[in-house]
Amino acid sequence: MAGCHSLIPLKAIESDAKSKLIGDPLDQAAFQFSGWVYNKTCDCYEARNVANQTSSNDPIRLWQVKSFPFDPDKRVSTALVVLERADGTLQLLSLTKGSPDTVRDMYLRREDEDFNIAYETQRMEFETRGYRNIALGWMDLSGTNYMRELFPERLEKSAIDNARQRAELFQRSEFETARLEFGGFVQFDASIRGSSRRIIEELNSSGLRSMMLTGDGIGAAVTVANKVRLIRSRKVAILEVTNDSTLQWRFLDLKKRKSGSSGDGSIEPIPFAASSLDDVLKRERLGKLAIATTGSALDVVFANTNDQDMQQFAESLSQVSVIARATPKQKHEFITRLKRYGQTVMMCGKRIWFELMSKGIASVMFSHLFALLL
């Protein structure tokens, strides 16, 4: 319950005797799966069978003290909570969840090579199954200055209301720092609507070129795009940023990845350069591969369009099928660039968008979860 922290956007409906919770659908799903319940009497969350918690270390109740809602640019949210264990022990915890890319940089072990390899391997395994993957991190604030500020006398349940008032002065940057312990991953199975593939194929056959823009990971995005026929090629060229902030092409063989005969289907990456760019664009036009990219890679491209290769890729955005790990700002910039390079644009989705392009109008999904699932 603490890890999924669906408690952040959820509020009890006071008029309802059953105290239903409302909020983000993912948080509601996480809350339901946790097996915890909301107790209106103590304004807390508690384990469904408190009396059956036999270990003194078992968590039984949780009070939210302060929440920092989802930040669409950083793609994280954080909550401060008081956790009660079966032996009556109380702890003050900071809980963070969000994009695996962002949360990874907040872990204490972020420079541990073994940890990073294991982390990326597990993340990619989940994402290539098409799951929406969320990373978790936490800090124990018991005994820190934060606890003394919130609970000047001592950490006790009767002082939680006063602590909530004091917490209003806290800033999220104090807690979303590189001091988190790794808490694990949470996966959401975002099932695709049965009609999605048929609709995409109808758009394609009518001269529309479909694209996807999403904040989800590249593995999940490519998997979904492949299922609904946004990607028709067996091979995908992914433009991404390396650890030393340069661009490279990483190639996926979707058939090998599906069969498991070659790991995740990856082919040895190659640097982004004039020769590799020409080859990728040519093969995409011939239908031999699809092109995907990440929001951070687009930032590098758009910041360096004085470079001839970067400019060539920017002018070829209509050949991109998937843009993953993109913030709202990056999605907007992508759409703006499409228009700037002579494309005709229409948008749809939860807030925006289908993109219509000249030479066979193209469509861009701003939110594939809305466009494909709802």
Tell me the CATH number at 323: 3.40.50
281 and 208 housed in the same domain = yes
Q: How many domains does the chain have?
A: 2
Residue 28 corresponds to which amino acid?
Q
Contact residues for 36 (Cβ-Cβ < 8 A; gap 6+): 1, 45, 46, 47, 48, 62
Among 129, 159, 188, the domain boundary falls at 188
For position 71, which CATH number holds?
Answer: 3.40.1110
212 and 344 housed in the same domain = yes
Own/partner pairs for 298-306, CB < 8 Å, 24+ apart? Answer: 298/323, 298/326, 298/330, 298/333, 298/334, 299/330, 300/241, 300/245, 300/247, 301/239, 301/247, 302/333, 302/337
51 and 178 housed in the same domain = yes
Does the structure show a pLDDT above 80 at 60?
yes
| 276 vs 47 pLDDT, higher one | 276
Per-residue pLDDT at 69 = 84
Per-residue pLDDT at 339 = 85
Model confidence at 56, pLDDT cuts 50, 70, 90, reads confident
Q: Which pLDDT tens digit goes with each residue over 97-146?
A: 998 988 999 999 999 999 999 998 888 888 777 788 889 999 999 989 99
176 and 288 housed in the same domain = no
- CB neighbours of residue 41 within 10 Å: 6
| 361 vs 247 pLDDT, higher one | 247
| 58 vs 11 pLDDT, higher one | 58
Model confidence at 189, pLDDT cuts 50, 70, 90, reads confident
CA dihedral 263, 265, 267, 269 (to 10 degrees): -90
Domain interval for residue 340: 196-373
Q: Which of 48-52, 156-160, 369-373 reaches the highest mean pLDDT?
A: 156-160
Is 5 within a domain? Answer: no
CA pair distance 183, 137, nearest whole angstrom: 5
Looking at residues 339-350, what average pLDDT do you find? 71
Per-residue pLDDT at 9 = 40
Does the structure show a pLDDT above 90 at 261?
no
Lowest mean pLDDT across 224-228, 236-240, 318-322: 224-228
Model confidence at 258, pLDDT cuts 50, 70, 90, reads low
201 and 112 housed in the same domain = no
Angle (nearest 5°) at CA 225 between 220 and 228: 125
Handedness of CA 120, 123, 126, 130 (dihedral sign): negative
CA pair distance 254, 268, nearest whole angstrom: 14
Is 1 within a domain? Answer: no
Is 3 within a domain? Answer: no
Single pTM value for the model: 0.72
Beta-bridged to residue 98, according to DSSP, are 76, 135
CA 315 centroid distance within chain: 28
- Asked whether the beta carbons of 322 and 353 are under 8 A apart, the reply is no
Per-residue pLDDT at 239 = 96
Looking at residues 134-160, what average pLDDT do you find? 94
User: Which single residue is written with the structure tokens 């709802």?
Assistant: 374
267 and 138 housed in the same domain = no
Does the structure show a pLDDT above 90 at 164?
yes
184 and 203 housed in the same domain = no
Per-residue pLDDT at 145 = 94
Residue 196 corresponds to which amino acid?
S
Model confidence at 284, pLDDT cuts 50, 70, 90, reads very high
142 and 212 housed in the same domain = no
